[in-house]
Amino acid sequence: MTTTSLILFTACASGASDASEPTLNEIFAAVEKYRDVNVAIADGYDRDLLDTCETPLHMGITGNLGTMGIHFLRRDLLEIDDQDSRLDVAGAHTDFLQPAGLVYEPQADGSLELVAVENLVSADAWERAGNRDAPTFQGIPYEHWPDDPAMSIQAQYDRHIWLRDNPSGVFAQYNPNVSCEHHDYNMPMMVRPDTIPPSGH
């Protein structure tokens, strides 16, 4: 871990937070074993069916924000079945000591390097549990994605925690220091149907 990373992590961990929440260092220790993706798979993490090394353009977002990576999911924690992707999250899991998602960067030799962990929460499940405000970690609300049928997205919250040094912040959605250069498949950029020009037929 870089010196910059340690400074970022310590600063964030010392901020206001729920006393019952784990510290960032506790989370990093808990997921250290998942640097070996085979250990993650043995513990029930499956490669997301979307099989994309996600960039902002996949979600219709412009700007040089960086990359997410390839997601591996605990379907039981997300409450999704074998035919669902992370966009179909139905649960309200928020425990980062056992995160619902692991994010990997593809390497030139075909291996995967763990760069982040993630929790995704169904907005509907969260509200049905009696919560009025967004889930938070270290006092910071999760990102909210509204329901968008055209983009196949159900309303949800998510929060990334980056293990890889991130100039955008340890909780940012994307990381400029992560690359999809060595991923051999990328999901086409999500585009709303009403923006696609007529085919001319």
- Predicted confidence at residue 199, as pLDDT, reads 40
Strand-pairing partners, residue 122, are 156
The interaxial angle of helices 3-13 and 24-31, nearest 10 deg, is 130
Q: Give Cα separations from 173 to 65, 67, 178, 200 (angstroms).
A: 9, 8, 12, 38
The amino acid occupying position 62 is T
pLDDT in tens, the chain (201 residues): 443 343 344 334 334 446 689 999 999 999 999 999 999 999 999 998 878 887 666 665 656 778 889 999 999 999 998 888 887 899 999 999 999 999 999 999 999 999 999 999 999 999 999 999 999 999 999 999 888 776 667 899 999 999 999 999 999 999 999 998 888 764 444 443 344 344 443
Which 8-state DSSP code applies to residue 67?
A: B
- Predicted confidence at residue 185, as pLDDT, reads 61
The amino acid occupying position 145 is W
